[in-house]
Chain A
């Protein structure tokens, strides 16, 4: 069974640009969560989607948004990039059967110059 796939693996952008990151969950998993990982802040929860509905959202500005498609694939978008948005963005999927266990992708490393 394929794991969680995130694309692209690396991204370099400049301030003011926008970026879209993609996540394909494990087949059959309907919940997708996004986290921002930085050396200083650890893992910060961005949002969680289930069956195309956002069920929970973290404390991030409105520049951070996401969506989930009918096939459970998810995207997150960051508009008007700032230097502080440089981070590893991790996606995780889960299912009722996994009983709260999260399966993580390898992440997208975003660098904002």
Chain B
């Protein structure tokens, strides 16, 4: 039973346009959410996070929105660049989840392709 779902396996966007990647979660105990970017055969790199006390967090071209009532978060990339082409993973954690703080539950990822 997936607690973090990324329902779009892939997304294709034109360079300069907005990329919107979506993530849904089922566990209402989740209170911290993260986005990671991953290139093939490499480890994921942290992009941006948001805690449940906020509904928006911005860092440069990246903005994460959190809608707690809908159990939904999204990552906006504006403007999209070819170098953004990668797999993006959404992750969530809850204080004390699994008997330990800090453990992350990952979605299956969305492959973003940004075309020049």
Q: Does A pair with B?
A: no
